[in-house]
Amino acid sequence: MAAKIQESGEMYLETILILSKKKNVVRSIDIVEYMGFSKPSVSRAMARLREDKYIVMDADGFIALTEKGRALAGKIYERHTALTRFLVGIGVDEETAAADACKMEHDISDETFEAMKRHAAEHGKA
């Protein structure tokens, strides 16, 4: 059975997805700048994500999500954006909502997340 990816790994995958939507190519330095982490920390994380087959990196250092990585990154990104919208919809300011969503997106169960999405859709908060 595969080990569950750590929250930090999910954050890196989400960052790669976000950056790939903004740029044609993503490199480790882009992740360093976006997340504010050190180069060695990002390098270690990229090595781990490669080992676990979430990303591939070519000879020029360009990073791409694998199908497995894209699926997980998409799930986390969807949770982040939906939770942010939900929290804003119930009156939380945008900055606080985004920060809280970032914490919640990694731990909320699929069941609870789906129920929140249904509730938001039914009550016009989606």
Q: Which CATH architecture has domain 7-71?
A: Orthogonal Bundle (1.10)
Q: What is the pLDDT along the chain (126 residues), one digit of tens a residue?
A: 345 678 889 999 999 999 999 988 999 999 999 999 999 999 999 999 999 999 999 999 999 999 999 999 999 999 999 999 999 989 999 999 999 998 898 889 999 999 988 988 888 755
The packing angle between helices 39-51 and 7-22, to 10°, is 100
Question: Where in the chain do CATH 1.10.10.10 domains reside?
Answer: 7-71
- How far apart (Å, rounded) are the C-alpha atoms in residues 48 and 57? 12
Q: How many residues does the chain have?
A: 126
68: which 2 tokens?
A: 């497995």
The structure's pTM equals 0.85
Runs of H (alpha helix) within the chain: 7-22, 28-35, 39-51, 67-89, 94-104, 110-122
Q: Which fold has domain 77-122?
A: Diphtheria Toxin Repressor; domain 2 (1.10.60)
63: Cα separation from own chain's centroid? 15
Question: Where in the chain do CATH 1.10.60.10 domains reside?
Answer: 77-122
**Burial of 7: CB neighbours in 10 Å, binned 0-12, 13-18, 19+:** middle
